[in-house]
Structure 1
């Protein structure tokens, strides 16, 4: 049976190594994954209790609109509930956006390297990915992006902070860029890591949306809120922008356990502050240790760091596997000497640095 021609253009997603796989392959009892940008603290205790209770009701279908979660999000960000759509992780929301708006031949603009879902979702719909290289400091080149806008441009994705580089765009620069974008082009701000941005007065996509700009903001509970295994994503935009997306969203996109966990996670402010403090301190520790080893660490506004190891990142990745550590080589983005390292607990980070010293 023949494949759709669009599917043939899409490279299969290559996930990071699983802990179970590495344990079996190298006969190890303990393995630490510093590759997938997960929160090492796990879900908050309040979220855990809510999820345990929700498990007892899994014989019932979930609320199709996830109204309890949308109400908490609306209260948190001071928007209306009908300006929020939920999905099965941010990846799912990205797919819905592209499916709702991109026709064959439409152009989708973004900088690269960045999150690969923009490209694959565009190709699947017969759209044309238009990729603009990042600047030398691995930040978005919004000036060059503006030059690439044509009459065929339908969507513009800005991953902010960017994955895999951890860099952000100055919010005034984003605001100026959006003002110059034609009104019939939707700017999508992918803010999967926005909770980690620690810049006073920084305007987020939700702030810009409330000021009337034509933007759609996508966020997730996978990173900061420790719910990667439950797949909870959402987007905030106008009712008009969300309307076609709601037609495509699967009826039960979020399960009962996911909804319960997400509601309590965002309400547990104290847990968020604890995680933020740990991430800030540990990111500084790992950065200083790597710099002392001669590596170049780029400024990061996330829970991971982007590092030029000054040697083949894939070879280093494989040597670290033998010692029970999984990192993310960036060769898939065309960056052979670069790796992405998630921030773990202090004990994990210390063991990781010691293992790296042994190798180097």
Structure 2
């Protein structure tokens, strides 16, 4: 048979998303399934966003406004930057692909720590680049000094996920700036801040502050996590204009749909819903951490809406047994951590059911072993 594929696709591993709620209900004959696997907002979108999106649905016969001008203008005002320093995309992963298409040439090296978000590797490989992966430090924090040691004349890009997924860890204040000062200007630094809104450290310096003085920094943000719009796929990148202009050249013309655009715009204006989400997430995260620690499990300090836990037994077995009871979590064996699970922070009721069912599953596994 003739081979039609682009040669670099042989290097890729197909991303297999976790089972959907609908699949699990059908497979296990369940009436209810709680998904704590995808870091979604259990409160859902802002009521104002829902109302705006219902109205927007009436006009889905029309193409979206290609540049998301209203949203970009609102974001620029929110951050105190210029509209031309922002580009939108179909979620953060779409923007990562844009970065690859805009900047990575065959043979370019792209550095990041592992485990982290898988799209960094796939976007690099697809463009013929070479991923350079180094492990996280003890405590599962990004090894910035280690990243610096890997820079060569072939290095095009460095990804720093902060807070990191799947570990939830945050770099200490000041570490990023020291790092940025040591990276050559010809190397792009991508600060993936998908979970940055969940951190509670006062006066923490984020990527938006850095773009004003570092022309090689690009910041990624999303409406999927804090804003509860994961199903709408709306993300954005912030950088100085020359980098944004380059990304716009490879951006799909209608990369953000009409309903997503309107929903994100309304969500951004609803400060009360954002505050409520952060408050509830903080309280429920504390509750789950205390539960896991009482059970004798190791919990990595989290600055996100999920927890990275060493349950000291086969994570896939825990995942499977929980799924049979209608609870979905993420086993971290795919990242090489065979006894770790990642648990998203659900609502109070969802977390109560998780605690009850998890306790039963763990007791049964211990009894069998």
Q: Same fold (TM over 0.5)?
A: yes
User: Which residue of 2 is the match for residue 113 of structure 1?
Assistant: 115
User: Which residue of 2 is the match for residue 194 of structure 1?
Assistant: 196
Q: Is 1:221 aligned to 2:223, yes or no?
A: yes
Q: Provide the rounded CA distance (Å) in 1 between the counterparts of 2:140 and 2:257.
A: 37
User: Which residue of 2 is the match for residue 177 of structure 1?
Assistant: 179
Deviation at 1:5, TM superposition (A): 2.1
3-state DSSP of counterpart to 2:160: strand
Q: Runs in 1 of length 4+ with deviation above 2 angstroms?
A: 210-214
Q: Provide the rounded CA distance (Å) in 2 between the counterparts of 1:81 and 1:4.
A: 36
Alignment length (residue pairs) = 360
Q: Provide the rounded CA distance (Å) in 2 between the counterparts of 1:99 and 1:303.
A: 30
Contact 1:178 1:213 in 2 (8 A): no
Note the aligned Cα RMSD (angstroms): 0.8
User: Which residue of 2 is the match for residue 302 of structure 1?
Assistant: 304
Residue ranges of structure 2 left out of the alignment (5+ in a row) = 363-369
Deviation at 1:171, TM superposition (A): 3.3
User: Which residue of 2 is the match for residue 316 of structure 1?
Assistant: 318
3-state DSSP of counterpart to 1:224: coil
Q: Is 1:207 aligned to 2:193, yes or no?
A: no
**Pairing 1:330-345 to 2, within 5 Å after superposition:** 330-345=332-347
Residue ranges of structure 1 left out of the alignment (5+ in a row) = none
Deviation at 1:8, TM superposition (A): 0.6
Q: Is 1:136 aligned to 2:135, yes or no?
A: no
TM, length-normalised to structure 2: 0.96
Contact 1:290 1:296 in 2 (8 A): yes
User: Which residue of 2 is the match for residue 29 of structure 1?
Assistant: 31
3-state DSSP of counterpart to 1:129: strand
User: Which residue of 1 is the match for residue 15 of structure 2?
Assistant: 13
User: Which residue of 2 is the match for residue 4 of structure 1?
Assistant: 6
1:221-265 Cα shifts (integer Å, max 9, x gaps): 000000000000100001111122111000011111001100011
Contact 2:11 2:125 in 1 (8 A): yes
3-state DSSP of counterpart to 2:230: coil
Q: Provide the rounded CA distance (Å) in 1 between the counterparts of 2:31 and 2:212.
A: 50
Q: Provide the rounded CA distance (Å) in 1 between the counterparts of 2:214 and 2:162.
A: 19
3-state DSSP of counterpart to 1:250: coil
Contact 2:215 2:240 in 1 (8 A): no
1:24-62 Cα shifts (integer Å, max 9, x gaps): 110000000000000000111100111011111111111
3-state DSSP of counterpart to 1:210: coil
Deviation at 1:213, TM superposition (A): 5.2
For residue 99 of structure 1, the aligned residue among 86, 98, 101 is 101
**Pairing 1:263-302 to 2, within 5 Å after superposition:** 263-302=265-304
User: Which residue of 2 is the match for residue 255 of structure 1?
Assistant: 257
Q: Provide the rounded CA distance (Å) in 2 between the counterparts of 1:277 and 1:47.
A: 19
Q: Provide the rounded CA distance (Å) in 2 between the counterparts of 1:4 and 1:62.
A: 31
Q: Is 1:90 aligned to 2:92, yes or no?
A: yes
